[in-house]
Chain A
Amino acid sequence: MFLTLSMLAVQGGVEADQVAGSFEPFFPALVVLLPLLGFVLNGLLALSHAKRSAAAVRAGGELQLDGPGGRPSTHTLPTWIGPGVMLGAFAITVVNFVRMLGAHLEHPVVISYWHWISTSTFTVDAALQLDQLSMIMMMIITGVGFLIHVFSVGYMKDDTGYPRYFAYLNLFVFFMLVLVMGASYPLMFVGWEGVGLCSYLLIGYWFSDREKADAGKKAFIVNRIGDVGFLIAMFLLFATFGTLDFLDIFAGAEDALVYGGGAVTAIALFFLVGAAGKSAQIPLYIWLPDAMAGPTPVSALIHAATMVTAGVYLVARSSVIFALSPVGSAAVAGVGVLTALFAATIALTQNDIKKVLAYSTVSQLGYMFLGVGVGAYAAGVFHLMTRAFFKALLFLGSGAVIHSMHEALHHTHSHADAQDMRNMGGLKKYLPITWITMWIATLAIAGIWPFAGFFSKDEIIWQTAAFGGAANAPYPFLYTIYWILALAAAMLTAFYMTRLMVMTFHGSNRTGEEERKYLHKAPAVMWIPLAVLAVLSIFGGWINVPEAIRTSFLGLGGALPMSEWLHHWLEPLTAQAHHIQEVHLGELAHSAPVGGGEVAWAVASTLAALAVVIATVVLVGGREVETADKDAAPTGFGKVLYNKWYVDEAYDAVVVRPLGKASRFSWRVIDQGIIDGMVNAVGYLARGFGWFGSLFQTGSVNTYAFVLSLGVLFTLASFLF
Chain B
Amino acid sequence: MTEILSSIGYAEWILHALIWLPILGMGLVLWADEERAKHVAFWWSAGVFVLSLGMWWAFDPGSGVMQMESVAPWIPGWGISYALGVDGISLFMVLLTTLITPLAILGSFEYIRKRERAFYALMLLLEAGVVGVFVATDVFLFYVFFELTLVPMYFIVGIWGGERRIYAAIKFFLYTAFGSLLMLVGILFLFFKAKTALGVPTFALADLLQVPLTGTEQLWLFAAFALAFSVKIPLFPLHTWLPDAHVEAPTPGSVVLAAVLLKMGTYGFLRFLLPLFPVAAQHPTVVLVMMTLAVVGIIFTAWVAAVQPDAKKLVAYTSVAHMGFVVLGIFALTVNGLQGGLVVMISHGISTGALFLLLGMLYERRHTRKIEDFGGIGRVAPLLTTAFIITALASIGLPGTSGFVGEFLALLGAFETHPVLAGIAATGVIFAAYYMLPMVQKVFFNKLDRAENIEVHDLTRRELVILTPLLALMILIGWHPTPLLERMEPSVQVILDRVESASADLEISALPTDTIQAEAVPAVGGDE
Contact = CB atoms under 8 A, between A and B. Distances in A.
Interface of A: 1-2, 5, 46-47, 50-51, 53-54, 57-58, 114-122, 126, 186, 189-190, 192-194, 197, 200, 204, 207-210, 213-214, 217, 220-221, 224-225, 227-228, 231-232, 234-236, 238-240, 256-258, 261-264, 266, 659-660, 662-664, 666-667, 670-671, 675-676, 679, 683
Interface stretch (B150-158, B183-191, B478-486): B478-486
Contact of B526 (A47, A204, A263): A263
Contacts of A662: 303
Contacts of A194: 398-400
Contact of A679 (B175, B308, B430, B441): B175
B304 A224 contact: no
Contact of B479 (A116, A197, A209, A663): A116
20 contacts: A2-B480, A5-B480, A51-B382, A54-B382, A57-B380, A58-B454, A116-B479, A117-B405, A122-B335, A126-B479, A208-B376, A208-B379, A208-B445, A224-B429, A235-B423, A235-B426, A238-B416, A263-B525, A666-B303, A667-B304
B241 to A, nearest CB: 8
Contact of B398 (A193, A679, A683): A193
A696 B485 CA distance: 60
B437 interface: yes
Nearest to A665: B303
Contact of B445 (A186, A213, A683): A213
B441 A217 contact: yes
B402 to A, nearest CB: 11
Interface in B273-332: 300, 303-304, 306-308
7 residue pairs, one from A and one from B, having the closest CB atoms: A50-B382, A261-B526, A207-B445, A263-B526, A235-B415, A190-B399, A663-B303
Contacts of A258: 526-528
B493 A120 contact: yes
B458 A235 contact: no
Nearest to A190: B399
B240 A120 contact: no
B366 interface: no
Interface stretch (B37-45, B67-75, B406-414): B406-414
A232 B426 contact: yes
A119 B336 contact: yes
Nearest to B304: A667
Given A57-B454, A207-B444, A240-B525, A121 B480 contact: no
Given A232-B426, A258-B528, A120 B433 contact: no
Given A54-B382, A114-B480, A238 B412 contact: yes
Nearest to B405: A117
B307 A660 contact: yes
Given A235-B422, A683-B174, A675 B527 contact: no
Contact of B446 (A213, A262, A670): A213
Given A51-B383, A117-B481, A204-B445, 14 more contacts: A1-B480, A2-B476, A53-B382, A118-B485, A118-B486, A119-B339, A120-B489, A186-B399, A231-B429, A235-B423, A238-B412, A262-B528, A671-B300, A675-B237
Nearest to B522: A239
A129 B405 CA distance: 21
Contacts of B398: 193-194, 197
Nearest to A660: B307
B448 interface: yes
Contacts, number: 196
Contacts of B8: none
Interface in B414-437: 415-416, 419, 422-423, 426-427, 429-430, 432-434, 437
B60 interface: no
Nearest to B383: A47
Contacts of B479: 116, 126
B365 interface: no
Contacts of A234: 412
Contacts of B241: 679
B504 interface: no
A121 B489 CA distance: 11
Contacts of B383: 47, 50-51
Nearest to B306: A663
B491 interface: no
A406 B423 CA distance: 48
B47 interface: no
Contact of B437 (A46, A57, A114, A220): A220
Given A121-B336, A217-B441, A262-B528, A663 B307 contact: yes
A213 B443 CA distance: 12
Contacts of B378: 207-208
Nearest to B432: A224
A115 B479 CA distance: 9
A656 to B, nearest CB: 10
Contacts of A213: 441, 445-446
Nearest to A50: B382
Contact of B438 (A120, A190, A217): A217
A231 B381 CA distance: 35
A679 B524 contact: no
Given A194-B399, A236-B522, A666 B300 contact: yes
B386 interface: yes
Contacts of A54: 379-382, 458
B171 interface: yes
B393 interface: yes
B382 A240 contact: no
Contact of B412 (A2, A122, A221): A122
A190 B400 contact: yes
A119 B303 contact: no
Given A51-B458, A258-B528, A57 B430 contact: no
